[in-house]
Each structure stands twice: as C-alpha cells, then as structure tokens.
Structure 1
C-alpha cells in the first residue's frame, strides 16, 4: 500500500466548497437527449463508453448530470481490468449508480458488492473501485444495442455490464482523486482496508445506500393514478422507490416506473400503495427510458414521445407522464430545493485536492471479513 497511506495527513487543501451556489432552472424548460443523436466515448478508460445527457445538464445550469456507462472490452487486457482506488467529492456528496445489465463487483472501503440489473448504490467520499465486470464479446455496435433492465433477468445478467450514473454537477468540475494506483494495489492487503475522510459539504443525514432489486423495499407498487393524474397504458403501471431521498440528504428522489411485458410478469410486486407525494417531488425532474416507450405532454398539451435510451430533463410541472408502453421501465429523478444550498468547488480547490492523490488516506482499519459490516468512509464517523 505504501507508507504514504499511513501518514497522519491533515488535509490542508480540503475545505468546504466556496464557489458559486448551484442553481436549478426554475423556468418551464424541456430538454431532450435522444439516444439516436448521441455518441459513446471512452472518457476515462478504454473499456468504459460514456453517453452523457448533455442537453439536460446544460439546460439545468450544469447542476445535475445523468450518464450511461457501457462496458465494451474484456477485463483481462493490459489496458483494461479493475480500476484504481479513487473517490469522488461532488457537491452534496452525491453519486448514484443503477445497474442495468451484466454483473459487476464493486469494492467500497473494503466491502464487496456483487451486483446485477436493478441494484442501486448511492455514495460519495468513499474510497472505491470496480473489481469485475461482464463482457459479452459482441462488437461495439451490437453491444450497445443489447437490452437493459432493472429486474435481474438471467439473459440480461449475461450481457456486458452497463449502469446509469448520476452526479450533482459535472465530474470534471469537482475533485476525483486517485488514492491508490494500480501499481500500489496489494490484493492481500489493500482491499481489506477502510479509510476515513473529513466531512465536506454533504447535508445532515446523508449516508451510504445500497438497495438490492430483490429486497422487500425494492418491490413495485401500483401507480397512484388518482393522486398523480391519468396515465394511459396497455398494461398495469407500477412504481419502485429506489430509496435515495433520505440517504442523499433530501437532495434527490428516485423512482422506477414500469410495466410487465404482455402475457408475462417479471416485476416483483406488492399490494401496498405507492407514496404519491414522494413520486411527485422535484423542482426539476429527469426521466430516462431504460427500455420500452413513454409519452409526455406539456402544459399546452403538446406530446413528446421517448424511446429506450432517451432522456428528458424539465422544470417543475413543465411536463407530465401521459403514456407508458408495455415492457417499459423509466427512471424518474426529482431534484429538490436543498440542492441550491450547495456550492461548487473552485478550480483551485479541485486541483489542490486532486494533487494530494495518495496522501489523503488518514487512517487504516483492517477488516477481518470483506463481506461483513458496512462501508466505513467518512459517512460513518
């Protein structure tokens, strides 16, 4: 691991962000990112192709980014493989991951998570890395066309690993330091170590969150049409609360709106009612169609149709969900007022923290069992 990891470093460069406040777009705007118009780019490493919802990011004053990450090369190549140990310091301590195909192994502060379609993780300022991912062997064009889902279907679990990822602000605008590089990782020691970090600007109550798609809190409940408004669909519509509002510090809500395929039943369901109030929250809303089709209408009744891979970002009450097709899954994220209490990192702060790199490890804490206990990180002080 290196002696640098054991230094009692006091983080002179890690201060609360003192840049500009985040500003949600409070107008009745509608910004659409069409899957047909986008490109996939290896932004950070060759095996991961990124599709970023840039129209929504820019229209919402750069406050929130949703992107898809698609694995496209095998893990055994010299230029691919596991990532290094790193952490993110976004405004508010917010990074969301929703797996949509394939299988991954993530390491959060020494605890392993073996996850597939439908798994949800919310974390920040926790040292982590991606240890394993599946790859289908298909050519890039075909690989990017493979279906995605939030239900652990055996077929989709065998495809290349993909996930949706969201940050408050663009990752290029906040620190993302690498604390242990590939040449320093010792598999018999480093993954068994948890590190603690100083608090930055996360809200009170924010914490690490993991939701298994087959857990009782991940079941789908009936869509509350009476409370939310009429919704046309050839199939009954259900909602899964992905549970991120409280762990995010009341910054973002998250739900999956879905229907079964015709003649089949794949969604794990409960007879309980959906919380209509929670589903309606959001000063700005983001809808991403994971599979199937959906249609929205604006205040004038103008219709907007979306297909798999499309994303719409809109101001409060600027649009409403009007129609959901069969075998459809839609991620809905509601951005809450608390986001505007957050500040951006200044470029000077960002560069200063990134330059610290491996020096930021302030304490080591060996784990007796990598599968036991919660991730530590600064969230568990």
Structure 2
C-alpha cells in the first residue's frame, strides 16, 4: 500500500453499533466445555486451528467468547505465512490474547512485539497483523498435546505457537475488515503509517495493553484464601493480575491462579498479597485450565472437576474455586456489568464495514523508527 492508495473516505454514518444491547446471563448457571469433547477447526486460516468454548458462549447469551488458537502448519507455505493488516471491531473494542506456547511476532499499530508464553496483549480495534510464529514440525495430533504455560519456559518456547483469545460476542457477528492485503504491504513504508477511523464503541479509558510475564506487575502473589475462601492444594496458591481491567474500559478483569510444580519454584513471585477486590469481581466468570487440574464447588457443595484444556463459564456466583493441583495454571476472567452498556453491530453494519476494506485508511503520520516511540494510530483520537 503506497501513499497513492491512501484515500479520504466519506463515512456513511456507521459510527457505533446500533443493534441489540448485550445482556449477560446473571443467573446461577454453569456451562462446561470439556477438552475431550471439542474439535479444532481452521476457521479463518489453514495454519490456525480454533477450539471455541461454545457451551459457555451460548449459555451466557452469546455475550463473551473464549477460544484457543493453535498453530499447525509452517509459516513458509504459500497458503500460510504472515497475515494481512486487519482489525476487529467487537462491542467495546475488546480483544484479549494470552500466549501459552511458542513464539510470535505481532505488529500493533506499526510497533513490533516479540512475545512468548505468558505475554498478554489487549487491544481496542487497533490495526494489527501476525508476522511470525513457531511451528514444531509434529503431527497435528501430537502438536495439540504440547504443554502450555504462562511462565517463560525454554522448552515451551520451542513448540508451536498457541494462544488463548477472548472477544465480547462472537467474531462472526461483528466487522473484521482487512485494511491492507498481503500483496499491497510495503515493508519499508506501510508498518510505519498511523491509521484512524471513526468506527468504534470503545469505553472511556480503554486502549492498548501489553504485559510482559517477567515484569514486576506480572509477579505472582499469595492467594487471599482468608478473604475468598479456602482452596485445598498440596502447594501454596498464587495469583497474577493481568492488569486488563482499566485498559479494557472496566469491562473485564483477568487473573492467573497457579501453583508450582512439586519441588520447583517455577512462578516468579512477590511477597505482597494479591488484590482481593479485583480477584472477586465478575457478574459472570470464565475459568480456563491452562495446565493441571482444579475443582469448583457449587452452592450445594457438589464438586466440578476440570483438567487441562477444560473451560467453565458460570453466573450468579454459582461456582467457587475449591481445589487446585500442583503445577496448575488457571485463567480467570471476570465479566463486568459495563459489558451490558454495549450494543451489537447489526448484520447490515457488519457487512458494510467489512466491505469497505482498504477504504477505511487515512494517512495521519509516519513513525521514523517503528521499534521505538509512542503508538500513534489508536484510531480514536
């Protein structure tokens, strides 16, 4: 895409979603997506296999989707390779990525991020692409069995790239326009260009967020069992705050609840106590077992046992963490009431925006060095 292809597009007025308001299921429901019962499908690209927590999505009125993305083909094939420049426009502009194995290079707003296990990225409708990913060379069956982790581990970095991804509503219901196709990208020019567009529904304060798993704000702290209730475990339980509540516009909280392997100090820790308030939030709560085992109790004391790859979605305080095994890592997402202030895109709006493709670009400025400096294309200024 050269400067000659930049256009000054006259918008048809589709500035905000105008469909039905999102309503979460606040009842005392429990929906389980068992890893053994699901399949992996190449929904968008042949190298990316998707495992979607559909039971939780449907039970929660289609308000929130959690899915695993597993890389399964090498990057050098003609039908794989880097993605185009694109953006997602979910309600609230919410997209969360948590890398769990392998290595990736992502380009967000012209800035490169080299990320591995434990890296967290949250972006609100920012133009981005995936430049690089690792692939183990194993068969699909063996590749899908490779261990996952949220702590940098040399062994897991060498596997195929995988990440857990979350959106408010299903991606098929909102616009996902390609902004610059692969054949139009000029590597010496396009990635340095800042883009803007008026199509958004981002809450005040929301923006881009990146958390490195080895920074101070990503350290694990002691699980506050005295305030949240006891958790049976053979080893001390710790919590990492993903820091996404404020950058998401107070739509979602995120934490990792974890234990070390027996006889090994794997988790980077702080002596400070975990934040009880943030860890307890959520009108609806989603738990994903990244590795290990965990048990959850309902109001009657019945225990729900989950293992690696399982996901449970629960509303109305229907479940509480009761047990956690050794060498276990659990993603906890608390869905906040601000989600219900959002609306969905209508099918007409979605199709019209997707059809605009490269027409939604306008030239704003160029970053001299794409590896440094402040992001310039947050699309909302």
Normalising by structure 1, we get a TM-score of 0.98
Aligned counterparts of 1:346 and 1:368: Cα–Cα separation in 2: 39
The residue aligned with 2:257 is: 257
- 2:15 counterpart of 1:15: yes
Aligned counterparts of 2:379 and 2:282: Cα–Cα separation in 1: 25
CA root-mean-square deviation: 1.1
**Kept in 1: contact 2:107–2:129 (CA 8 A):** yes
**Kept in 2: contact 1:5–1:361 (CA 8 A):** no
Q: Give CA deviations for 1:13-42 in whole Å, capped at 9, x if unaligned.
A: 532111000000011000000000000000
The residue aligned with 2:322 is: 322
**Kept in 2: contact 1:296–1:320 (CA 8 A):** yes
The residue aligned with 1:350 is: 350
Q: CA deviation at 1:100?
A: 0.2
Aligned counterparts of 1:5 and 1:234: Cα–Cα separation in 2: 61
The residue aligned with 2:227 is: 227
Q: CA deviation at 1:109?
A: 1.1
The residue aligned with 1:307 is: 307
SS in structure 2 at match of 1:378: coil
Q: Give CA deviations for 1:128-170 in whole Å, capped at 9, x if unaligned.
A: 0000000000000000000000000000000000000000000
Aligned counterparts of 1:92 and 1:5: Cα–Cα separation in 2: 29
Stretch deviating more after TM superposition (86-95 or 365-374): 365-374
**Kept in 1: contact 2:195–2:379 (CA 8 A):** no
Q: Figure out how many residues of one structure are paired with residues of the other and give that number.
A: 381
The residue aligned with 1:215 is: 215
- 2:159 counterpart of 1:134: no
Q: Give CA deviations for 1:350-379 in whole Å, capped at 9, x if unaligned.
A: 000000000000224221111112333335
The residue aligned with 1:28 is: 28
**Kept in 2: contact 1:18–1:343 (CA 8 A):** yes
The residue aligned with 2:52 is: 52
Q: CA deviation at 1:2?
A: 4.1
Q: Give CA deviations for 1:45-104 in whole Å, capped at 9, x if unaligned.
A: 000000000000000000000000000000000000000000000000100000000000
> CA, structure 1 residues 341+5, in 2 after alignment: closer, same or farther (shift >3 Å)?
farther
**Kept in 2: contact 1:234–1:326 (CA 8 A):** yes
Aligned counterparts of 1:298 and 1:347: Cα–Cα separation in 2: 38
**Kept in 1: contact 2:94–2:125 (CA 8 A):** no
Q: Unpaired segments of 5 or more residues in structure 1?
A: none
Aligned counterparts of 1:302 and 1:5: Cα–Cα separation in 2: 61
Q: CA deviation at 1:124?
A: 2.4
User: Which runs of structure 2 are paired with 1:100-249 in the superposition (5 Å)?
Assistant: 100-198=100-198, 200-249=200-249
Aligned counterparts of 2:75 and 2:13: Cα–Cα separation in 1: 35
Stretch deviating more after TM superposition (357-366 or 118-127): 357-366
Q: Unpaired segments of 5 or more residues in structure 2?
A: none
Q: CA deviation at 1:9?
A: 1.6
Q: CA deviation at 1:8?
A: 1.7
**Kept in 1: contact 2:254–2:332 (CA 8 A):** yes
Aligned counterparts of 1:75 and 1:26: Cα–Cα separation in 2: 42
SS in structure 1 at match of 2:58: helix
**Kept in 2: contact 1:235–1:262 (CA 8 A):** yes
SS in structure 1 at match of 2:343: coil
Aligned counterparts of 2:16 and 2:172: Cα–Cα separation in 1: 18
**Kept in 2: contact 1:64–1:169 (CA 8 A):** yes
The residue aligned with 2:366 is: 366
SS in structure 2 at match of 1:83: coil
Stretch deviating more after TM superposition (348-357 or 179-188): 179-188
**Kept in 2: contact 1:125–1:377 (CA 8 A):** no
**Kept in 2: contact 1:87–1:124 (CA 8 A):** no
Q: Give CA deviations for 1:297-319 in whole Å, capped at 9, x if unaligned.
A: 10011110000000000003100
Q: CA deviation at 1:199?
A: 5.3
SS in structure 2 at match of 1:331: strand
Q: Give CA deviations for 1:164-184 in whole Å, capped at 9, x if unaligned.
A: 000000000000000100110
Aligned counterparts of 2:270 and 2:80: Cα–Cα separation in 1: 41
**Kept in 1: contact 2:15–2:198 (CA 8 A):** no
